[in-house]
Amino acid sequence: MVLSLFVRSCRCNISKLVFPLTYPSYGQYQVRQIHRKSVYKTEEAKKVRFYILNRFIEFLKNYDQILEKNFPTTMKTYRVFTEGIKVFILDTREYFKIVRLLNSPGGTYTKLLRREIELYHQMPKDMFKVAPILIFSTLPFAFYVLLPLIYALPKQLLTSHFWTLEQKSRYNIEYLHDRLVHNRPVFRHLQSQLNFIKYNKEIRDDLYDSWAKVLGQLGSGVQPTIEDILACKCLFQDEPYHLFYLSRNHIFHLVRTHNIHAGWFRRTRLSDRALILIEMDKAIMREGGVHNLPVDALRTACYIRGLNPVNVDTEYLVKWLSKWIQVSSQIDKDSLSLLLHCPILLGYNEPSNWILIYPKK
């Protein structure tokens, strides 16, 4: 019994030595916490934290450069697309502003500038073409799918708002080529009516001779004069060349010559196109004439009317557009067909067009 008491006392003493039962006072705990806090807020720690933060901010500032370095094509496509959206939105707003002006009481084309009429002419087609892409891009993660497609098919999916300067030049030429290949079928349809004109008693013989001369010059590579073309104007006011009398195939190629989709109401849309062209020509004259057009505007005007302006002298473009406006100024609502045939009558034998259709091999 004495031995057991001794063992117990020894265990208690050892436990006191190894595991003291006393705890630090609240004051001691507070001192330790203050000490740790002060270490965390030292000047060295602040410098390290600010250094890391500054480096991270610099990384974010240069992140676009890093992406452009590692993914140059993707970043270029993305930037062109985002800039194109801004320009497209501005043009869309201006288009609806023009529509409201024309639909308001007393609204006429005389209140519009040449550039505004060209925008009014082009924007419906651009809006119809790019609307599916813009709508689809708003879906979650859809843009990551669209970006490769946009890069691969910019001509088919986007409009000129989203193209680079190089793409604009190349695609415009390709579109013009697709229009010019329809010049020959239209010319053949014009020739096919010669016998009708010759044996029609209501048409004067001298008118047949004048028209046969125009077609003969076009067929032999010579461009007819404006006077010879206007002398045959009455042929386009009635049978055989009024829009109402043209064959379906003739209308189809004429539609494609003016880059109009070959859907329904082709004759109506051709009439609307002729009226728009007349208003463009009037706007050019209101703004000082062909000679006062900026070079880019002059080339665009010739492109719209079916002349390839690439590598063509500015003075020649001025001369050609002046001829067009000379014919346009003599057109009324009954002779719209004559203006619609002017891409052939004035541009069929132009060297720049001929080279585009039949490039040298």
Q: What is the DSSP string of 116-174?
A: HHHHHHHHHHHHHHHHHHHHHHTSTTHHHHHHHHHHH-HHHH--GGG--HHHHHHHHHH
Which of 114-118, 298-302, 343-347, 357-361 is predicted with the least confidence, judged by mean pLDDT? 357-361
Please give the Cα distance from 139 to 141 (Å, whole number).
Answer: 6
**How many CB atoms lie under 10 A from the CB of residue 31?**
12
Whether pLDDT at 250 is above 90:
yes
Position 266 confidence tier, pLDDT thresholds 50, 70, 90: very high
For residue 96 the two structure tokens come to 């609806």
Please give the Cα distance from 346 to 305 (Å, whole number).
Answer: 10
For residue 260 the two structure tokens come to 């109009």
Whether pLDDT at 2 is above 60:
no
Distances, alpha carbon 207 to alpha carbons 241, 246, 337, in Å: 14, 19, 17
Whether pLDDT at 102 is above 70:
yes
Please, are residues 307 and 352 in contact by the beta-carbon 8 Å criterion? yes
Please give the Cα distance from 27 to 56 (Å, whole number).
Answer: 41
Please give the share of the chain, as a percent, with pLDDT higher than 70. Answer: 78
- Buried b vs exposed e over 133-164: b needs ≥16 C-beta within 10 Å? beeebeeeeeeeebeeebbeebeebbbbbbbe
Whether pLDDT at 3 is above 70:
no
Beta-strand runs (E) in the chain: none
pLDDT tens, position by position, 51-69: 666 665 555 455 455 545 5
Rounded mean pLDDT, 84-99:
91
Where do we find the tokens 């009954």? 334
The pLDDT value recorded for residue 254 is 97
The pLDDT value recorded for residue 11 is 47
Position 13 confidence tier, pLDDT thresholds 50, 70, 90: very low
For residue 101 the two structure tokens come to 């002006």
